[in-house]
């Protein structure tokens, strides 16, 4: 099965095509990972996941979505991340991290929230402060420093969070970006902040280090980003990224999404075909059969399973009967067929 075949992104070889996408667990302490994270990501590795992408990690304190999100805005936060990385590698999974800034969707009441324009997401978050040039530069530097710390922790890949209505997405969408300076207006201008973040991050990465961008390919709201606009956006940054992780929504309260199994796969398929990029598909994909269909029909190069892995981190061992050999079976000398017997 293609699902269980290896895949190369730059210098990184994944053992299979299944990804655990970033999922905030709200279990960190002052940005530091806790025992929860070692168990949670360790389980994903024991579950034979090809690539684990660690949850959205704040590049500055107000870059967190919730107070108990992970962070990498200080050097002393590196050590806990290193332990997550070491455990994942030890048990056979490749591991990356998602770096993000919440922008106007920071829910920490004691901190100032920032956005391209002073337009609130909803009453809960309130009106954000419009970012000036200095604040833009500070947050760009935050991404750069967090990327350096990610490397020091041993992460093998970085994903920049440009989706779900957080800061980069707020710059990209005309619904949340009403600026009249060089960061607003045309597509080129709205992409400028993302380009600055990308350039800053790349300046600290080795040449062969894999970099992924996660986007919401549509806002599902009139006047916002649609798939045509996202094709233009990706065309402007695709030379800098090794892969696009294709999600949707999260920017506007009026979004209307129809949910069904694989509802975002067609967005991945379009970006793959129109922009010639490699993609990760995600969203209500819960079975190995679905993963295989997406890969066989060239609708994505990797496939992420989110909530199903929270319910059952061993789903691909169970469903990949005969294809996945659990590492722990080898290590403990168990007979593989016995382990996988239904």
Ligand X SMILES: Cc1cc2nc3c(=O)[nH]c(=O)nc-3n(C[C@H](O)[C@H](O)[C@H](O)COP(=O)(O)O)c2cc1C
Contacting residues toward ligand X, per CB under 6 A: 21-24, 55-56, 98, 161, 163-164, 214, 247, 282-285, 305-308
Nearer Cβ to ligand X, position 57 or 117? 57
Q: How many helices (H) and strands (E) does the chain have?
A: 12, 13
C-beta nearest to ligand X: residue: 306
Question: At its nearest, how many Å lie between ligand X and the CB of residue 157?
Answer: 14
DSSP 136: H
Nearer Cβ to ligand X, position 12 or 66? 66
Nearer Cβ to ligand X, position 98 or 270? 98
Long-range contacts of 184-189 (CB under 8 A, 24+ apart): 184/116, 184/117, 187/229, 187/232, 187/233, 187/236, 188/236
DSSP 10: T
Question: At its nearest, how many Å lie between ligand X and the CB of residue 308?
Answer: 6
Question: At its nearest, how many Å lie between ligand X and the CB of residue 98?
Answer: 5
Nearer Cβ to ligand X, position 104 or 164? 164
* Look-up of token digits 């949707």: 248
Question: At its nearest, how many Å lie between ligand X and the CB of residue 262?
Answer: 9
Q: SS3 for 158? A: strand
b/e map 199-235, b = 16+ CB within 10 Å: ebbbebbeeebbbbbbbbbbbbbeebbeeebbeebbb
Nearer Cβ to ligand X, position 127 or 284? 284
Question: At its nearest, how many Å lie between ligand X and the CB of residue 69?
Answer: 8
Which residues pair with residue 130 across a beta bridge? 115
């Amino acid at each position: 099965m293609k699902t269980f075949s290896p895949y190369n992104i730059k210098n990184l070889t994944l053992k299979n095509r299944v990804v655990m996408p970033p999922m905030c667990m709200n279990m960190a302490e002052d940005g530091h990972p806790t025992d929860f994270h070692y168990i949670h990501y360790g389980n994903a590795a024991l579950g034979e996941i090809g690539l684990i992408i660690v949850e959205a990690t704040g590049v500055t304190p107000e870059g967190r979505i919730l107070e108990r999100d992970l962070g990498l805005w200080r050097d002393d936060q590196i050590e806990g991340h290193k332990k997550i990385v070491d455990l994942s590698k030890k048990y056979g999974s490749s591991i990356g991290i998602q770096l993000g800034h919440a922008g106007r969707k920071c829910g920490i009441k004691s901190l100032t929230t920032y956005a391209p324009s002073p337009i609130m997401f909803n009453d809960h978050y309130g009106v954000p402060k419009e970012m000036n040039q200095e604040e833009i530069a500070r947050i760009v530097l935050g991404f750069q420093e967090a990327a350096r710390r990610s490397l020091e922790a041993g992460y093998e890949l970085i994903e920049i969070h440009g989706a779900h209505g957080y800061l980069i997405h707020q710059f990209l969408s005309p619904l949340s970006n009403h600026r009249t300076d060089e960061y607003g207006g045309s597509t080129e201008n709205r992409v400028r902040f993302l380009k600055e973040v990308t350039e800053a991050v790349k300046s600290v990465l080795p040449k062969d280090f894999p970099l992924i961008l996660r986007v919401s390919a549509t806002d599902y709201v009139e006047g916002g980003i649609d798939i045509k606009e996202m094709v233009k956006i990706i065309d402007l940054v695709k030379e800098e990224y090794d892969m696009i992780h294709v999600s949707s929504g999260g920017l506007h309260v009026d979004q209307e999404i129809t949910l069904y199994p694989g509802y975002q796969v067609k967005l991945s398929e379009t970006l793959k075909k129109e922009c010639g990029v490699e993609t990760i598909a995600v969203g209500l994909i819960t079975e190995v059969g679905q993963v295989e269909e997406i890969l066989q029909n060239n609708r994505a190069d990797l496939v992420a399973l989110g909530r199903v892995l929270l319910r059952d981190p061993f789903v691909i061992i169970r469903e990949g009967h005969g294809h996945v050999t659990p590492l722990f079976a080898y290590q403990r000398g168990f007979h593989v067929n016995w382990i996988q017997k239904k």
